[in-house]
Amino acid sequence: MPAVSLELDLNRYAPAAVRSILEARFPAALRRTLWVHPEDPETIQILDQRLLPHRLVIVEIRSAAEAAAAIREMWVRGAPLIGITAAYGVYLACLEARWSGSFPYETALRELREARPTAVNLAWALDHMAETLHGVPPEQRPERALEAAGALAEADVAICHAIGMHGLALLREAYARTGRTVQILTHCNAGRLACMEWGTATAPIYLAHQAGIPVHVWVDETRPRNQGASLTAWELGQAGIPHTVIADNAGGHLMQHGQVDLCIVGTDRTTRTGDVANKIGTYLKALAARDCGVPFYVALPSPTIDWTVRDGLAEIPIEIRSESEVLNISGFDPHAAQVREVRLTPPGTAGHNPAFDVTPARLVTGLITERGIAAASEAGLLSLFPERR
C-alpha cells in the first residue's frame, strides 16, 4: 500500500483551514493533481481521488507497480492525468531498474499499459517515453525519464490553458448574445482533477469566471462512479464557480426548457474522424442536445486524438468495470459521520457497467483543441493538425 502523506477529513475542516494546511505543507496540491516530492525526487505525490469530496488524501507513489495500481484503481483518473501518471511510472521503473539489474522493466511497462483500456493518453504517453529513452544507457535513464515526464506535465498545463482560451470565445459569444448568465452542462469530471491544472472542459469555464463573465454549470452526477457529483462539484466549489448537480436523467429536460446554452464535455479518445469516446452517458446528452438545438462541444487535447482509428464505435475498446459500481453507491453518512457504501438493488441482482460510450462525430458541434475549434470530422481535425495528413 502506498504511504499516506496527508489525510484531512473535509467534513470537519473549513475550506479556508484546508487551504492554509496545504499552503504550509503541500503547496503543490493547491494547483496540481500530481507532483514530484519536493524533498525526495524519487517519490511522486498524488491526490487519491477515490476519497474526494469527503477526505483529502495525498499518497506517495514510489514504484511503477504503485503507479499502475493508482491508474487501475482510479486513485488518479481522467485521460490526461492517466497519461502523465504512466509517464512518471516509467521514471520509477527506470529507477528500480538502476537499483536492481534483475528488475522486470518490460513487465512493469506492460502493467502500466494495461492499467486502463479506453483513454488513449496512456498508450500515447508510454510511446512517447519509450521514444525518448530509446538508446539512452540505463544509468542515465532515470534523469531523462524524469525530465520527459515533467515536460509532458507542463505541456498538459499549456494545452489545457489554450483549450480554455478557445472555449472562452464561445462563452463570451453566448454572454454577448443572451446578456445573462451562461448556462453550461458538463458530464463526468473533465476538470483540473482529470489533468494537471485547468482541466479540459472546465478550462473555458475557469477563464470565463476570471474574466467576469457570469457562468453557471449544470453538473451531471455521472453514475455509476459519480465523478460529477463528487469531483466536478468539489473543484468548482473550490474555485467559487456557481454550479448545480443534477441527476444524469435531468439534462434532456433542462435542454428542452432552454436552460442550457451549451454542453462542454471531455474525451478519453477521439478518432481522426471526430467520433468521441467519453464517460458513459455522454452519447445520450449529445442526442438530447441535437434534438433541442443546443451546441455540443468536446474539449480535446491533441494527445487524446487516436490518429490510427477511424470508426469509434467499432474500434475503441470500452472498459467494462465491476458490476458493484452499479449495484452499490457510497457517500457520507452525516449520522454516523463516516463514508458508507450501501446496496441499491435486491440481493443477487446482476449489473452491467460499461464505463464509456462513443458519440458519433455527427452529433458534435465542434472539437475545442489547443490549436482552435475544429469541425468534428477528419477534414476539420486535419485543418488544425496538417502534420497528420
Cβ at position 361, least distance to ligand MRU in Å:
17
Per the listing, cell 502506498 goes with 2
Helix (H, G, I), strand (E, B) or coil at 86: helix
DSSP 8-state symbol, 162: H
Residues that bind ligand MRU (CB under 6 A): 77-80, 119, 188, 190, 194-195, 200, 227, 266-268, 278-279, 355
DSSP 8-state symbol, 228: I
How do strand 55-61 and strand 4-9 relate by DSSP bridges?
antiparallel
Q: How far is CA 44 from CA 2, 41, 193, in A?
A: 11, 7, 16
In whole angstroms, what is the distance from residue 213 CA to residue 261 CA?
14
Q: Residue 61: CB partners within 8 Å, gap ≥ 6?
A: 2, 43, 44, 45, 46, 67, 70, 85, 88, 89, 92
Cβ at position 19, least distance to ligand MRU in Å:
24
Residue 98, amino acid: R
Nearest to 238 by CA among 86, 40, 47: 47
Angle at 283 between CA 33 and CA 369, to 5 degrees: 50
Cis peptide before 53 (omega within 30 of 0): yes
Q: Would you say 86 and 71 are in contact if contact means Cβ atoms under 8 Å apart?
A: yes
Cβ at position 195, least distance to ligand MRU in Å:
6
Q: Residue 151: CB partners within 8 Å, gap ≥ 6?
A: none
In whole angstroms, what is the distance from residue 192 CA to residue 179 CA?
28
268 catalytic, yes or no?
yes
CB nearer ligand MRU, residue 145 or residue 193: 193
In whole angstroms, what is the distance from residue 52 CA to residue 234 CA?
8
Residue nearest to ligand MRU (CB): 266
Nearest to 263 by CA among 307, 218, 306: 218
Helix (H, G, I), strand (E, B) or coil at 150: helix
In whole angstroms, what is the distance from residue 272 CA to residue 382 CA?
8
Nearest to 273 by CA among 150, 142, 170, 374: 374
Helix (H, G, I), strand (E, B) or coil at 173: helix
Q: Which three cell numbers stand for residue 374?
A: 475544429
Query: Of residues 48, 268, 275, 306, which has the active-site annotation?
Result: 268
Catalytic residue positions? 268
